[in-house]
Amino acid sequence: MKSLDETQIREEILQKIKSHGKFPDNHGRDVAVFWEKTWPMLGELGFLGFLISKENGGRGYSAQEYVIALETIAGLDPMAAYVINEHSTIGGLGVSTTGSQLQKDKYLDKLATGKILAGFGLTEPGHGSDVTSLKTTAVKDGGNYLINGKKIHISLAEQADIFTVVAGVPTDEKNLNTAFLIEKANPGLRMGEENSSPEGYLIPGAGSIEMDNCVVGADMMLGEVGKAGKVSRGVLEIGRFGLASIYVGNSQTALNLCVQYAHKRNQFGKPISNYQAIQFKLADMRVGIQAARLLVRDAARIYDEGKSTIESGAMAKLFTTEMARNVGIEAIQIHGGHSYLADPPIDWFMRDAKMGEILGGTSEVMRMLISRKVLASQEES
């Protein structure tokens, strides 16, 4: 990779946004405004193709460039950064990493420009952390697969045009988890009833999809039968530390708001920024954010070296989301009772962080991944 100029990437991102005016004021977290105004802008700015090669209409960013760009965008509009990451990693990256030439030709330029939005369907009503025994099946039927099952908690489900769905291809012994691309227009796919829009700055919504004898051509399989793990690991790993970079940016926003408030809020005749109790909270926030940033950058560097980021990505996500939760809690404390009068409320930072400790693999799962590596390394030595 060419040498990384962080300032240049940040400036480029900021300049591009400026050239379009600015992100629509989404500060009241108006999801409808986001989809109507910000989403098309992301495509025009080229922000939906960061990880797609230049030949295919994207920007061909390395992971290290990507996390800097995401953190920068998250500082301005965290919802935009969240949507970019879902679309660019778990939603659409499988087409670049494991897609056939036909799939690349059909989808990559549309993904890069935002003509289509991609979602990812792994989680099921009965299977969240444990994806070893999914109930969704894909049964071979001539040149097609018949897919049946339900996926829940899918980010951007309502707006997505295409999903990477993991389904089990039955064999005599067990079902082999396999990834398929399914277009929303497929008559065998319908939206499920579960649909939510958790309060917070980041997540515009999550929904469910149901597949009922959904006919999917064998040429829509991503990778090979039984290799969904390979597809999803590749996209989940960068999706995780990508998500972490968004929490770095969002936590920095929380810290900035705390500093502004601490300067202007007077108690006992002085701004509360004069009190060490407040100063130390700000210092701890600053340290946490910087430590998280470095873990994210480290995972991105390892990814760019072509090595596994199961451990480094898990460390980045685990540390960052817990840091973001602490920042969110302390932001409430610093704002006192005004935290819930603020518009939007300050406690949204904490709510967002709590979701971050669940989606993309829970903190417990991250600890499982890390501890497995720790234990294995001791066995080897």
Ligand X SMILES: Cc1cc2nc3c(=O)[nH]c(=O)nc-3n(C[C@H](O)[C@H](O)[C@H](O)COP(=O)(O)OP(=O)(O)OC[C@H]3O[C@@H](n4cnc5c(N)ncnc54)[C@H](O)[C@@H]3O)c2cc1C
b/e per residue, 222-249, with b = 16+ CB within 10 A? bbebebbbbbbebbbbbbbbbbbbbbbb
Binding to ligand X (CB under 6 A): which residues in 142-161? 153-155
b/e per residue, 132-169, with b = 16+ CB within 10 A? eebebbbeeeeebbbbbbbbbbbbbbbbbbbbbbbbbb
Stretch that binds ligand X, among 25-33, 271-279, 286-294, 357-365 (CB under 6 A): 357-365
Residue 162 in contact with ligand X, rule: CB under 6 A: no
Q: Of these, 70, 122, 246, 300, which contacts ligand X (CB under 6 A)?
A: 122
Binding to ligand X (CB under 6 A): which residues in 260-289? none
Q: Of these, 68, 112, 262, 355, which contacts ligand X (CB under 6 A)?
A: 355
Q: Of these, 76, 225, 257, 358, which contacts ligand X (CB under 6 A)?
A: 358
**Alpha-carbon gap, residue 169 to 144, rounded angstroms:** 12
Q: Of these, 22, 25, 129, 213, which contacts ligand X (CB under 6 A)?
A: 129
Residue 242 in contact with ligand X, rule: CB under 6 A: no
Residue 192 in contact with ligand X, rule: CB under 6 A: no
Least CB distance to ligand X at residue 375 (A): 15
* Residue 241, CA atoms < 13 Å, CB-side half-sphere: 32
Least CB distance to ligand X at residue 226 (A): 19
Q: Are the CB atoms for 324 and 352 separated by under 8 Å?
A: yes
**Alpha-carbon gap, residue 231 to 236, rounded angstroms:** 9
Least CB distance to ligand X at residue 6 (A): 29
Stretch that binds ligand X, among 24-32, 34-42, 56-64, 356-364 (CB under 6 A): 356-364
Q: Which residue has the tokens 């991105």?
A: 300
Residue 120 in contact with ligand X, rule: CB under 6 A: yes
Nearest to 106 by CA among 167, 161, 63: 161
Contacts of 271 (CB under 8 A, 6+ apart): 262, 263, 264, 265
**Alpha-carbon gap, residue 242 to 50, rounded angstroms:** 12
Q: Of these, 103, 123, 273, 312, which contacts ligand X (CB under 6 A)?
A: 123
Residue 365 in contact with ligand X, rule: CB under 6 A: yes
Interface residues toward ligand X, by CB under 6 A: 119-123, 128-129, 153-155, 198, 203, 206, 355, 358-362, 364-365
